[in-house]
Amino acid sequence: MNLAQVYALLGAAIAVILAGIGSAKGVGLASEAAAGVVSEDPSKFGKLLVLQLLPGTQGLYGFIIGIMVMLKIGIIGGEAITSVPVGLQFFAACLPVGFGGLFSATAQARVAAAGCNIVAKKPAEASKAIVSASLVEMYALLAFIVSFLMVNQIG
């Protein structure tokens, strides 16, 4: 393994780790709120499941970018990169999804937890809670798209 690959792998690790941390914290926070509601009324579990899952998508976005980088730099098949500037480009390309995933997942979790309160009091309004939490997803998607396009343009 050469220095260019090391820089690229550090970027991939940042994408996966930061987005994963955000998702883990986010799903945990939303699940805590949902557990409180389900303990009182187990029939609301289905309506709360989407709210619990939404903050988990950011970890998936980071994982996809990490795999893409490993495919392009010769770690998982392909030809090994040898140029340090190219390795640094991969590193930079991973930053949007890493940091975007970290911060959007935790913000989305707070909205999802508030949505659990809506479902607890007015189960018929669950779709409004889901839409509200989905609005935060837009920023995770933007970060993912930027990283995706950057990774695809390198090399």
Beta strands in the chain (DSSP E): none
Domain ranges of the chain: 3-153
Res 127: pLDDT: 94
Contact at 8 Å (CB) between 38 and 116?
A: no
Res 135: pLDDT: 95
pTM: 0.93
d(CA 10, CA 93): 11
Class of domain 3-153: mainly alpha
d(CA 121, CA 27): 21
pLDDT digits (tens, 9 = 90+) for 79-127: 899 999 999 999 999 999 999 999 999 999 999 999 999 999 999 999 9
